[in-house]
Amino acid sequence: MDTSKPMILGNDIRLELYKMQLDLRYCEKRAYDLFLQNLIKGTSHLSLGQEAIAAGFGVAMRPDDYTFCTYRGHAHTLARGASMEGVLGELMGRQCGLLGGKGGSMHLTDVTKGAMGSYAIIGAHLPVAAGAAWSAQYRGTEQVAVCFFGDGTTNIGAFHEALNFSVIWKLPVVYVCENNLYMEYTPIRSVTAVDHPAADRASAYGLEKIVVDGNDADEVYHTAVKYMERARKGGGPALIECMTYRHSGHSRADPGAYRPKGELERWLERDPIKIYRERLLGLGIVEATLTDLEVESMRKVDVATETAKGSPVPSLDQIDKNVWADGSTAWRN
Amino acid sequence: MAELTYREAVAAGIAQEMRRDENVVFLGEDIGAAGGVFKATVGLFEEFGPRRIRDTPISEQAILGAAMGAAMTGLKPIAEIMFSDFLAVCWDLVANEIAKTRYMTDGQITLPLVIRTANGAGSRFGAQHSQSVENWAMAIPGIKVIAPAFPADVKGLIAAAIRDPDPVLVFEQKSLYAFKGEVPDGEHVEQIGKAKVLRHGTDCTIVALALMVHRALAAAEILEKEHGISCTVVDVRSLVPLDTVTILAEVAKTGRLVTIEENPRLCGWGAEIASIVADEIFWDLDGPIIRITTPHIPLPSADLLEDNTIPSVERVVREIREKID
């Protein structure tokens, strides 16, 4: 895709993409701050630096489309319209959390928004997304399932099973590999047979090789629209590799010390939000408009943080609820 | 009443539910055009067609993942895992995903799906195609586990599993596929979570599952006629939920518990029942609990070796005589 010139997009869509990226960035930064205050326990995997991908797809998706994402899924869940207090509340283990405190950071879900779950076992959700796409195809609803995963996922068996399966059944599913160059702490290139862990394998499934700049929200959005529409109309799945970089470590415990000197700084120059802001200014959008969006986004995060902090912790009776559809946990009579 | 084989009852149960609910779909390896490697799904492809009966590649993770994704978005899928041993290659989907998702999402996602699989020994298939792994499944919170012994229960429990709003794992005993039995005419649905008392006795209560139910009944007959030992036989039918009410009541009546399991010794379901009985009706027991299991070894394949590994009628008779007389 030619990225040298701005794509033809209306300013309304562009501002929506900018606003979405801001929300994801500020909310994720807040999550980091809340860790430091020990208000968020456990682990957490931030998408700082990768927001353009979740935002590009989030804006392109139809409200009834399905999102499947990984344990690095705060951004993708928010990008479908899940509430910030629901996300931050879940991270803080509060009653207002999306999952009432039962799932935590790695399992964010909001079915009412089409966010069909965050999956913490690498690869598991690729076939699940295929199943949702099968269901959409069977019911004739023209819904699309979008499945996000990291570069490391391309080396696990479920990736292969899901890709082959989706192609032979011509399912309306778009697989989105966020290649942030590292599988946890190890450079993906050093443990993978090909340069592009997803795209270079597309031909094995009869799919086209697609590599896009994952830090360019316009390019992601265009690609999302193109392949989601194709899938919606019965054209089958796509496998899209988005090149990006995470600004933070793999998880809360990781300072990212394995990265070569200067690499992070080079990628910070290509910060998706920074380059998008410059692009909008270059397109003649006045700075005050952008500043207003930034202030509003920060305000929303502040309000959500306070709401979540003010929410009680879950009541103990919740432990014994919701294993089964009748709400119970009974395994005997 | 019609007489059906166990395998015919599988197809009859699935067909009954597919006729009444368009959202029931079925996927698995060789289940459609081929009618299943055990011929348990013969006729379904012809009746319901390739849109609802879908042959898959050898991709067990894809099969269960697809079933899960379909179940959370409005369908009621039935997934076949050809041999229960193969659950090991897709256990993540069973244990981490399907079983836990409802709880982890605090009820946002409900998974009305059925996993059917051929379980158990007796066919000389060796250690990777003969295991009884229902106890693996029983150990995971969030999945119902049933194992029918008779054609009527096969039809009725599979129908119930398909209607159940929660994930149900159905273990069909592969050496029972040719077994014939009466199946009620018309719509037949059993209740999951109910054990069935098949024989009433006074000296001991044998609790068994699937193929072992048949051996328990044969052993009880011999014990009664030849040795004057009168046995109650309870077919557990459902491990999760477990009908402890029936089991405890029947054990209390005779004062002795015998479990017959095809599982290897350690952590078999009989151990859980023994634990519940010891905890709750210890003072009703007249003697030690007897667990008859497969030894704690991988299964051998040769006729003589396999026959001497899983509990036989003769072994059940011998052990009960030795320990109860």
- The DSSP letter of residue B185 is S
B131 belongs to a structural domain: yes
- Check whether residue B203 and residue B305 sit in a common domain: yes
B-chain residues near A110 (CB < 8 A) = 108
Q: Are B286 and B255 in contact (CB under 8 A)?
A: yes
pLDDT band at A4 (very low <50, low <70, confident <90, very high): very low
The total of structural domains in chain B comes to 2
Phi first, then psi, for residue A174 (nearest 5°) are -115, 120
- Check whether residue B246 and residue B155 sit in a common domain: no
- Please report the domains of chain A, with CATH numbers, ordered by start residue: 11-304 (3.40.50.970)
**Would you call A203 exposed, middle or buried from its count of C-beta atoms within 10 A (0-12, 13-18, 19+)?**
exposed
Question: Would you call B105 and A107 a contact, using CB atoms and an 8 Å cutoff?
Answer: yes
Minimum Cα–Cα distance from A106: chain B residue: B104
Q: Quick check: A181 pLDDT over 50?
A: yes
Helix runs in B21-59, H state only: 44-52
pLDDT value at position A3? 46
pLDDT value at position A15? 97
B224 belongs to a structural domain: yes
A-chain residues near B106 (CB < 8 A) = 99-100, 102-103, 318, 321-322
pLDDT band at A292 (very low <50, low <70, confident <90, very high): very high
A-chain residues near B68 (CB < 8 A) = 127-128, 131
pLDDT band at A1 (very low <50, low <70, confident <90, very high): very low
Q: Please identify which residue in the block is written with the tokens 């076939």.
A: A127
Minimum Cα–Cα distance from A318: chain B residue: B106
pLDDT value at position A7? 63
Last residue of a domain, one of B138, B162, B183: B183
B86 belongs to a structural domain: yes
Which of A102, A126, A323 comes nearest B142 by C-beta?
A323
- Check whether residue B23 and residue B158 sit in a common domain: yes
CATH number of the structural domain spanning residue B218? 3.40.50.920
The pLDDT tens digits of the residues spanning A299-332 come to 999 999 999 999 999 999 999 999 999 999 999 9
Residue A103 region, left (φ>0) first, then alpha (ψ -120 to 50), else beta? alpha
CB of A122 within 8 Å of a chain B CB? The answer is: no
Which of A68, A164, A325 comes nearest B166 by C-beta?
A325
Question: Would you call B62 and A109 a contact, using CB atoms and an 8 Å cutoff?
Answer: no
Q: Please identify which residue in the block is written with the tokens 């995997």.
A: A45
CATH number of the structural domain spanning residue B133? 3.40.50.970
What is the residue range of B129's domain? 2-183
Beta bridge partners of B286: none
Q: Nearest CA to CA, how far is A332 from chain B (Å)?
A: 5
Question: Would you call B106 and A107 a contact, using CB atoms and an 8 Å cutoff?
Answer: no
Q: Quick check: A244 pLDDT over 50?
A: yes
* Predicted ipTM beyond 0.95: yes
- Check whether residue B69 and residue B205 sit in a common domain: no
CB of A170 within 8 Å of a chain B CB? The answer is: no
Q: Quick check: A276 pLDDT over 70?
A: yes
Last residue of a domain, one of B122, B149, B183: B183
Q: Quick check: A2 pLDDT over 80?
A: no
CB of A164 within 8 Å of a chain B CB? The answer is: yes
- Check whether residue B142 and residue B229 sit in a common domain: no
pLDDT value at position B120? 98
pLDDT along chain B (325 residues), means of 10: 97 98 98 96 98 98 98 98 98 98 98 98 96 97 98 98 98 98 97 98 98 98 98 98 98 98 97 98 98 97 97 98 90
Which of B72, B106, B242 comes nearest A322 by C-beta?
B106
B142 belongs to a structural domain: yes
B191 belongs to a structural domain: no
Minimum Cα–Cα distance from A143: chain B residue: B73
Minimum Cα–Cα distance from B76: chain A residue: A135
- Check whether residue B132 and residue B68 sit in a common domain: yes
Would you call A133 helix, strand, or coil by DSSP?
helix
Q: Which of B93, B90, B292, B89 is nearest to B209 (CA)?
A: B292
Q: Please identify which residue in the block is written with the tokens 């179940």.
A: B71
- B160 Cβ contact list (under 8 Å, min separation 6): B189, B190, B191, B192
Beta bridge partners of A173: A145
Give the rounded percent of residues in chain A with a pLDDT score beyond 70. Answer: 98
pLDDT value at position A46? 93
Q: Quick check: A201 pLDDT over 50?
A: yes
Last residue of a domain, one of B159, B183, B207: B183
What are the tokens at A278?
């410059």
- The DSSP letter of residue A113 is G
B58 belongs to a structural domain: yes
The pLDDT tens digits of the residues spanning A101-155 come to 999 999 999 999 999 999 999 999 999 999 999 999 999 999 999 999 999 999 9
Question: Would you call B51 and A125 a contact, using CB atoms and an 8 Å cutoff?
Answer: no
What is the pTM (predicted TM-score) of this model?
0.97
**Would you call B139 exposed, middle or buried from its count of C-beta atoms within 10 A (0-12, 13-18, 19+)?**
middle
Best A98, A118, A134 residue to mutate vs chain B (most B CBs within 10 Å): A134
